[in-house]
């Protein structure tokens, strides 16, 4: 009987202690709204300033630096959108791609897959080829910026993995893309 009470107490206390251990506090005093000071997604593309948080008390390890750089790239866009039936990279994506290229040049062990996508208009075969042209365009752009070809691979999903399932021009526009996946 005494053992049952102890086990019930542990069954209640253990999950509560686990939840308490997983909680975090904001020790820097910043608010959630001020985390991205670069003007939103992609706002800081092309800027490579890396700062060490004050509360760490020392130099960052290589792993911490790598994780911080990956987080910065995730905050920036990883998707290039294309015009209808087109695989030409628009000027608005150049800074974003330059940031990815710099990261890849500085981290030669990191590999990426460039995924090409198309909207549902056209035959499946055509859309696979169009997705491949889009992925190839991004890969070649990164290579022109000094990223070795062996750090990248490409895959085309054509119309098979839409971002949006609608049938409006805006939905189709979001599905015409290439995505850099780390």
Could you read off the pLDDT of 45-98 as tens digits, one per residue?
443 333 334 344 457 787 887 677 666 666 558 999 999 999 999 999 999 999
In a domain, 31, yes or no: no
In a domain, 26, yes or no: no
In a domain, 181, yes or no: yes
Residue by residue, DSSP assigns 77-145 as: --EEE--TT--PPPGGGHHHHHHHHHHHHH-TT--EEEEEE--SSS-HHHHHHHHHHHHHHHHHHHHHT
Q: What is the pTM of this model?
A: 0.63
In a domain, 43, yes or no: no
In the chain, how many domains are there?
1
CB 104 within 8 A of CB 112: yes
In a domain, 161, yes or no: yes
What CATH number is attached to the domain comprising 97? Answer: 3.30.1330.60
Q: How far is CA 132 from CA 5, 49, 104, 157, 176, in A?
A: 63, 33, 21, 8, 12
In a domain, 127, yes or no: yes
Residue among 102, 121, 106 nearest 159 (CA): 121
Q: Which domain holds residue 77?
A: 63-182
27 has a pLDDT exceeding 90: no
């Amino acid at each position: 009987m005494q053992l049952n009470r102890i086990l019930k107490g542990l069954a209640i206390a253990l999950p509560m202690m686990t939840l308490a251990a997983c909680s975090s506090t904001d020790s820097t005093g910043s608010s959630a709204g001020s985390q991205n000071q670069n003007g939103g997604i992609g706002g800081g593309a092309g800027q490579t300033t890396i700062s060490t948080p004050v509360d760490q008390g020392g130099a960052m390890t290589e792993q911490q630096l790598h994780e911080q750089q990956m987080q910065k790239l995730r905050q920036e866009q990883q998707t290039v959108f294309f015009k209808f039936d087109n695989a030409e990279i628009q000027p608005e994506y150049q800074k974003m791609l330059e940031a990815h290229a710099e990261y890849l040049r500085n981290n030669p062990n990191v590999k990426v897959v460039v995924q090409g996508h198309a909207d549902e208009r056209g035959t499946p075969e055509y859309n696979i080829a169009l997705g491949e042209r889009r992925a190839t365009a991004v890969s070649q752009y990164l290579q022109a910026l000094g990223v070795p070809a062996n750090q990248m691979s490409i895959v085309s999903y054509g119309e098979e993995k839409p971002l949006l399932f609608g049938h409006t021009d805006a939905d189709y526009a979001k599905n015409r893309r290439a995505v850099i996946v780390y």
